[in-house]
Amino acid sequence: MQTTDYTRYTLGIPMRWRKLIGLVVLLAFMFVYAMFVMTYAVYRLPDNGVLEFFYFLIAGIVWAFPAIFLIKWMQIPDPGAPPPQI
């Protein structure tokens, strides 16, 4: 079985610290993203309930795509760590 060296992706940061860093970055990103989405909706969207519904529906889904990459980065196992028990 060939193992992959994830050190270049993790920058040598242990998983415990990656999870802490990821949590802080994710919370900050979500706050800034939510403020941007709401501000844009207030100042740029016309007063139309259907349009606002679909805008917030799409905006509520879009934030997950950047978060996926961050969460995957947080979950990369440490080199030499035993495989997780299922």
pLDDT at 73 over 60: yes
Chain segment 37-47, per-residue pLDDT in tens: 999 999 999 99
Query: CA-CA distances (angstroms) from residue 73 to 39, 70, 84?
Result: 30, 5, 16
Cα–Cα distance for residue pair 58/68, rounded to 1 Å: 16
Domain parsing of the chain, residue ranges: 7-74
pLDDT reading at 1 higher than 80? no
Burial grade of 21 (CB within 10 A; 0-12, 13-18, 19 or more): middle
- In contact, 67 and 26? CB cutoff 8 Å: yes
pTM of the full structure: 0.81
